[in-house]
Amino acid sequence: MFALSSSDTDHDGFNFIDAKHTTATAGSVFTVAASGLTSIAGQGSGGAIIFDTGTTASTLSVSNTASSFNKALLLMDSTATTGFSLIDAKVGGNSQFTVTAGGTTTIASGGLSVKGGVTVVDTGVTVSAGNVLISSSTATSASTNGALVVTGGVGIGGDIRCAGTSYAVAHTATSDRRLKTAIQDVTSAQETIRKLRPVTYEWKRNAFPSRNFPAGVFSGFLADEVKEILPDLVHEDSDGWKALNYVGLLPHLVRAMQELQGQLEASQKQMRSFQQQLQALQTA
């Protein structure tokens, strides 16, 4: 153990320690100034290595006890701009956390846990594998609150499964003629509609709690029965659960009404003909 001290009250102009490289022109490699500023300068292909075998204290601890300061607690800077990592934290020789010179941050399989929130300013977030889980149970009563709030548009390239109630100002479906082929008129709609069995029912909420079924009595159809009549309107997932495209019933309902309207108009025309014949007989 050793101690260095000076009675000089001027903290500028000298170093407690000034270790220089063997090459005279290389300059100092390790200095401790009177102010306490410590500098380590790697010369040539060298650098600074902190080696520790202790188990009760941090190998390197950086702290500042000032009540206020406006500088970086740990500053890393390089003249080079590519081809290296600003940070490369390893465990057992394997990189667990890296930050490249370009700012790309890579986290190994341990994942990332953020408590204070995340703000993405520029290029967005890409999830190439796995899923995004939001475990907050915050309820929603408007488009401005809830566990997930999106102030802009949302683009989804796959299916959407909702275990609750969906609210919207309007729903639209792609229907441009230029996107369709094999177009045919719906026929025999009345017969199709007659085969459908409207029912009332209640959901099995206790048997399937994860589906968040609402309580109460509802009206509709059974997908199993509709599949026998209009199979194109029934979707079956990989687990065998059936779902019904209720909107797909509209064309059949419209055609059935058109058929009824045609029959009504034909009946009215026939009735007028009968009335005219009757009047002719009465005046004869």
pLDDT tens per residue, range 139-153 = 888 888 888 888 888
98 pLDDT exceeds 70? yes
> Do 48 and 42 contact (CB within 8 A), yes or no?
yes
Q: Which of 48, 65, 80 is the last residue of a domain?
A: 48
Q: Is residue 83 part of a domain?
A: no
Mean pLDDT of 217-239: 96
The sign of the CA dihedral 262, 268, 270, 272 is: negative
* pLDDT tens digit sequence for 177-212: 999 999 999 999 999 999 999 999 999 999 999 888
Q: Is residue 284 part of a domain?
A: no
The sign of the CA dihedral 143, 148, 151, 154 is: negative
pLDDT confidence band for 216 (50 / 70 / 90): very high
Q: Is residue 98 part of a domain?
A: no
- Does residue 15 or residue 237 have the better pLDDT? 237
Q: Is residue 94 part of a domain?
A: no
Q: Is residue 162 part of a domain?
A: no
159 pLDDT exceeds 70? yes
Question: How far is it, in rounded angstroms, from Cα 199 to Cα 213?
Answer: 18
Total of domains in the chain: 2
Q: Is residue 219 part of a domain?
A: yes
Residues 6+ apart with CB under 8 A from 243: 223, 234, 235, 236, 237
Give the tokens for residue 52: 């520790």
Mean pLDDT of 131-139: 83
Question: How far is it, in rounded angstroms, from Cα 149 to Cα 137?
Answer: 13
Question: How far is it, in rounded angstroms, from Cα 183 to Cα 21?
Answer: 85
- The boundaries of the domain holding residue 22 are 1-48
Mean pLDDT of 101-110: 82
Q: Which of 48, 69, 86 is the last residue of a domain?
A: 48
Q: Is residue 172 part of a domain?
A: no
Q: Is residue 8 part of a domain?
A: yes
Mean pLDDT of 236-264: 95
What is the pLDDT at residue 167?
A: 86
What is the pLDDT at residue 275?
A: 92
> What is the pairing mode between strands 38-40 and 85-91?
unpaired
- Does residue 119 or residue 21 have the better pLDDT? 119
Secondary structure E strands in 8-112: 15-20, 28-33, 38-40, 85-91, 94-100, 105-107
**Count of Cβ atoms closer than 10 Å to residue 226 Cβ:** 22
Q: Cite the DSSP H helix spans in 60-185.
A: none
Q: Which of 18, 33, 48 is the last residue of a domain?
A: 48
Give the tokens for residue 10: 């001027």
Q: 33: burial class by Cβ within 10 Å (0-12, 13-18, 19+)?
A: middle
